[in-house]
Structure 1
Amino acid sequence: MSKKIIIGDLLDFLDDPAHAGESAVRYVEQGALLIENGKITQRGSKEEALALAAKSPDIDLVQYDNKLIIPGMIDTHVHYPQTEMIAAYGEQLLTWLTEHAFPTEKQFADKAHGSMVADVFLSELLKNGTTTALVFGTVHPQSVDAFFEVAQQKGLRMICGKVMMDRNCPDDLQDTAASGYADSKALIEKWHGVDRLSYAVTPRFAPTSTPEQLQACKKLLDEYEDVYMHTHVSENVDECAWVKELFPESKDYVGVYEDAGLLRKRSVLAHGIHFNERELCCVADNDTAIAHCPTSNLFIGSGLFNIQQMREHNIKVGMGTDVGGGSSFSLLKTYNEAYKVQQLQNNKLSAFEGLYLNTLGGARALDLEGIIGQLEVGCEADIAVLDYAGTPFMDFRLQRCKGIHEKLFALMMLGDDRSVFATYANGEKVHQR
């Protein structure tokens, strides 16, 4: 039986600090976690842990000084096939798709190419302290096979799905309502619930699916009630106008998915920038989650996400990097941009609130609270170890901080993959800087 003790400063959340305040924050200096067979089985003090280790020579003891131990971070929206075209210059959403995203995704007809990119992608996530992600594949079923095979080898909790597109896209990236259903069903049967892997039914976004394909998506969700639904919504003003032309009978963009029966628990909509009041109420009423993707929203010029509206409607929100529209795999840098997006709207997003979105908030958005997202007994031991001295300048700056919030804020504003000292997945170290 594999056992280890990890000692260091522990930080996680019992609830959303935006609602519950600092009582939601659980910070313990020199705490300890006992990990057995991939799960956290005890929390305690450093002294208790050292005493236990002294009596049990079979326990591996790891002590992290001047480090902050947090739950492994959770990326609630990202495209692994776009890894190689991250930081593509100069376009807004609809042109960006045709000029950059679609040509790159065509390469994933080759499974070997998908495997190579999946390995690079997952390695980058782990370097950045991200241990779970909700991931787009491409229209090719083999892109999902390649992704899951690599994730399984690394022992990761990952969610992925084959993109479904039966119109308004290149012919060689197009499926049909029937083939999209059949391919997705076969992938669900093969992968969903295997080890730490889950499947997401993945219509790209309303403009690239006919009403018939959206109904095929609903059929899959009805047949497999614990799979996810993952798509885009209200990212760009021109996109919203296009959806209105394509679906004139629906009340609004969210209404397209509502009419198709796709809004439910375990449905995650990326972006949600340009919602009206009806859409906010509809998302909340259907227990659907939103993935906030600030680096992408700024990079592609899509708009400013209003997190205060989401809070007022009690909508579950997680953070997404949205690579390759997003320009970094780092959820620390994603918080950096999220903070600025709120500043521009005269809203605040504290470091505690940002780290909550990256951890427990993401777990709640993915219906995985109690499994990941906390340093809690019974949770899987997905852990990121952040380094206060990731660079000489960060060390210089953080030494001048008073209190954990100021220290965390500076770390998240200045941090990137250099701030991640180690990453654990299911209790095993999968990255060491």
Structure 2
Amino acid sequence: MTSLAAYRGAILHFLHEPNATAPGVTNPDDATSTALPAWQYWQDGLLLVENGHIRQLGDASELLPQLAAELAEGLAIQHYPHHLILPGFVDTHIHYPQTEMIGAYGEQLLRWLNTYTFPTEQKFANPAYAEQVAAFFLAELLRNGTTTAMVFGTVHPQSVDALFSAAQQHGLRLIAGKVMMDRNAPSALCDTAETSYSETRALIERWHGVDRLQYAITPRFAITSSPEQLNMAGKLLSEFDDVYLHTHLAENHDEVAWVKELFPTARHYLDVYAQAGLVGKRSVFAHGIHLSDDECSLLASRDAAIAHCPTSNLFLGSGLLNLTRLQNAGVKVGLGTDIGAGSSFSLFRTMDEAYKVQQLQGCNLAPMQALYMATLGGAKALDLESKIGNFAAGKEADFTLLDLHATPLLKFRTAHCKNIEELVFVLNTLGDDRLIEKTFALGRCVHQRD
């Protein structure tokens, strides 16, 4: 039986990355436009969702006459004045086991891991505890309009089972993996090269490609994996050519120096992963703040991606990402909240901090560029642009309804916006979870604001 739903309101999505040579235009059919528009915006738009996928979108005045038969048969138009409909957000790097330790005080990366992270992650040996945190974690994602995420578990296979089971119930698109870690960590959190291989392989066979779930091979970072374990991760990537690689890269100066000591024959940090066969199209590296030109070139040539995590980078004092440098090198970049060093599940808060990180380096992050990275750009970073990221016909219907009157300040400020670019910047700067009135996954409402 066909299921059709129609949503009316202001609608915005991206067709490709915004840049100076392909500006966004409000009318995609404008004959004066010399390039494909970066985004499409309808002040009074209509989004049609059929059987969990996008059927059509466009100006309401043009599409409504085409729906005469469906309207006569009882199709109800769900109308949302003073709302903006966006594709669901894509979080390219987050740790669900660290949900309980957000806001842990006073340390930079390496001491922070030992002081807070490792003790917290030991709790996930208990499957019941993992299930409890997984349920809360997913509810927070949806409350913030995030419909796709790439997620770290812990070293315990049961942590991944709990997360995938909960995500499956919501029909979410989720990429996750068990941490591989065989040195420089508490013994209770260490596996071995052999057990990390066998446990990861079993999880891939159990979960990868089931419904909307996909697996990421997940060495925490080079410091906590021996060369043997990294090689085992590479072996898994060669055996399952459509799984992901998810790890950390060049986040902190002390981390980079320690990696150089542990792997003296590597040209640089990224070369450690490259030697193990871990740098490819579905490789996503969190942070990438302190990279050489050669590392940027290698990322681009292998079509790998960086997850930019500004709230975490500022919170831990790790450094300021040079986004322009990565973009000029042709590196794909998505946004990550990096809970729990990151201080918010909200991609709006993440975009706000990303803007400030560039301001501190004398650059402006355009509002549309930031929103692109949170939607279609994130989908491209995860090699999922054929399925999610915008409202192209046939894609999975993951989207959010933003209430522009969610707070008195938003209502007042958005009323004075002169165009869609200004509106987006205001939302990027002032927005948070209160903006999200509803979140949809595969066309089904999975969160509604109280």
The interval holding the TM-score normalised by the smaller chain is: over 0.9
Q: Is 1:150 matched with 2:151?
A: no
User: What is aligned with 2:224?
Assistant: 208
User: What is aligned with 2:23?
Assistant: 21
Q: Is 1:189 matched with 2:205?
A: yes
Which residue, 76, 95, 98 being the options, matches 2:92? Answer: 76
Matches within 5 A, 1:282-297: 282-297=298-313
Instruction: Tell me how far 1:29 sits from its aligned partner.
Output: 1.5
Matches within 5 A, 1:39-78: 39-51=53-65, 54-56=68-70, 57-78=73-94
Q: Is 1:336 matched with 2:352?
A: yes
Which residue, 372, 382, 397 being the options, matches 2:413? Answer: 397
Instruction: Tell me how far 1:54 sits from its aligned partner.
Output: 4.8
Instruction: Tell me how far 1:359 sits from its aligned partner.
Output: 0.3
Q: Is contact 2:42-2:58 (8 Å) kept? A: no
Which residue, 256, 261, 281 being the options, matches 1:265? Answer: 281
User: What is aligned with 1:366?
Assistant: 382
Q: Is 1:30 matched with 2:44?
A: yes
Comparing 108-117 and 328-337, the one that deviates more: 108-117
Tell me the secondary structure at the aligned position of residue 27 of structure 1: strand
- Distance across 1 between alignment mates of 2:168 and 2:75: 26
If the length of structure 2 is used for normalisation, what is the TM-score?
Answer: 0.95
Comparing 369-378 and 190-199, the one that deviates more: 369-378
User: What is aligned with 1:279?
Assistant: 295
Matches within 5 A, 1:75-224: 75-224=91-240
User: What is aligned with 1:4?
Assistant: 5
Instruction: Tell me how far 1:53 sits from its aligned partner.
Output: 5.0
Extract unaligned runs of 5+ from structure 2. Answer: 25-36
User: What is aligned with 2:31?
Assistant: none
Instruction: Tell me how far 1:61 sits from its aligned partner.
Output: 2.6
- Distance across 2 between alignment mates of 1:318 and 1:124: 20
Tell me the secondary structure at the aligned position of residue 285 of structure 2: strand
Cα RMSD between the aligned structures? 1.1
* Percentage of identical aligned residues: 57
Q: Is contact 2:88-2:400 (8 Å) kept? A: yes
- Distance across 2 between alignment mates of 1:99 and 1:406: 42
Tell me the secondary structure at the aligned position of residue 19 of structure 2: helix
Which residue, 309, 313, 319 being the options, matches 1:303? Answer: 319
Deviations 1:346-390 (A, max 9, x none): 111111000000001000000011210001111100001112111
- Distance across 2 between alignment mates of 1:82 and 1:238: 22
Instruction: Tell me how far 1:48 sits from its aligned partner.
Output: 4.5
Instruction: Tell me how far 1:21 sits from its aligned partner.
Output: 3.1
What is the letter of the counterpart of residue 96 of structure 1? W
Instruction: Tell me how far 1:59 sits from its aligned partner.
Output: 3.2
User: What is aligned with 1:386?
Assistant: 402
Deviations 1:79-111 (A, max 9, x none): 000001111111000000011111110111111
User: What is aligned with 1:320?
Assistant: 336
How many residue pairs align between the two structures?
433
Instruction: Tell me how far 1:250 sits from its aligned partner.
Output: 0.2
Q: Where has structure 1 moved over 4 Å in runs of 4 or more?
A: none
Instruction: Tell me how far 1:47 sits from its aligned partner.
Output: 3.0
What is the letter of the counterpart of residue 114 of structure 1? A
- Distance across 2 between alignment mates of 1:134 and 1:339: 22
Q: Is contact 1:370-1:378 (8 Å) kept? A: no
- Distance across 2 between alignment mates of 1:397 and 1:6: 25
Extract unaligned runs of 5+ from structure 1. Answer: none
- Distance across 2 between alignment mates of 1:59 and 1:173: 54
- Distance across 1 between alignment mates of 2:58 and 2:251: 44
